[in-house]
Amino acid sequence: MNLAALVTAFGVVFLAELPDKTAIVSLILGTRYRPSWVFCGVAAAFVVHVALAVAAGSLLSLIPRRPLQAIVAVFFLAGAVLMLRSHGREAGEEEAEEAPDLGEGAGFGKVAGTAFGVIMVAEFGDLTQIVTANLAAKYADPLAVGLGAVLGLWAVAALAIIGGRSLLKVLPLHLIVRLAALAMIVLAGVSLGQAIAG
């Protein structure tokens, strides 16, 4: 297993997911319902998304090396731009998120199922899924990238559910967005360098 791929996937996905609206949804659901039940649903949804992303990335890795590195570089740059632009829109919107009302005394199945469903819909085609596919194509180690991405997503979900409000007081959201975008720009530069060098 490629440890560099695992650590890179964890770091980039973790940073990209922190300012994402699914982290906010997890936070809201975790304050309203039993946190462990919410985490079970969220964690299961993230496993499905990472599996889809790694499969897509593995297909991309069939492209010859130089063109693949150029494609990966473009995707990372696009991801950085999307992250910076979407954060600007979300910061201006200031709309209140609200947790779905599952009724009095909702059980494990209902809470976990709702969390799973909300994350499945919100994360489909999301930036972290695209980044995971890019990393899987770049490193050609689907297991390491998949494990790193899942752990990064789970870490953000756990932080959001347990102490998201406190984290944002210590680390401002705009700084998190800029760090994630910078990491993607660095990865784009590395990929472009590899494409040029052959």
The CB density around residue 148, as the number of other CB atoms within 10 Å, is 29
Total count of domains within the chain:
1
The terminus-to-terminus CA distance of the chain in angstroms comes to 24
Average pLDDT over residues 48-59: 89
Residue with tokens 């596919």: 133
Question: How many residues are there in the chain?
Answer: 198
Contact 50, 136 (CB under 8 A): no
The CB density around residue 74, as the number of other CB atoms within 10 Å, is 15
177 domain-assigned: no
Alpha helix ranges (H) inside 33-172: 35-60, 65-93, 108-123, 127-139, 142-170
130 domain-assigned: yes
Q: What are the pLDDT digits (tens) for 129-183?
A: 888 988 998 888 999 999 999 999 999 999 888 875 566 567 676 776 677 678 7
Q: What is the pLDDT of residue 95?
A: 39
73 domain-assigned: no
**Hey, what long-range contacts does 7-10 have (CB within 8 A, 24 or more apart)?**
7/148, 8/135, 8/139, 8/148, 8/187, 9/132, 9/135, 9/139, 9/144, 9/145, 9/146, 9/147, 9/148, 9/149, 9/152, 10/148, 10/149, 10/151, 10/152, 10/155
74 domain-assigned: no
Q: What is the pLDDT of residue 88?
A: 56
Average pLDDT over residues 42-65: 87
Q: Whole-model pTM?
A: 0.70
155 domain-assigned: yes
Note down the domain range covering 50.
3-65+107-170
Q: Which residue has the higher pLDDT, 129 or 78?
A: 129
Q: Which amino acid is at 129?
A: Q
- State yes or no: pLDDT of 116 exceeds 70: yes
61 domain-assigned: yes
83 domain-assigned: no
Q: How far apart are CA 139 and CA 58, in angstroms?
A: 9
Reported confidence tier of residue 94, pLDDT bands at 50, 70, 90:
very low
Contact 116, 42 (CB under 8 A): yes
96 domain-assigned: no
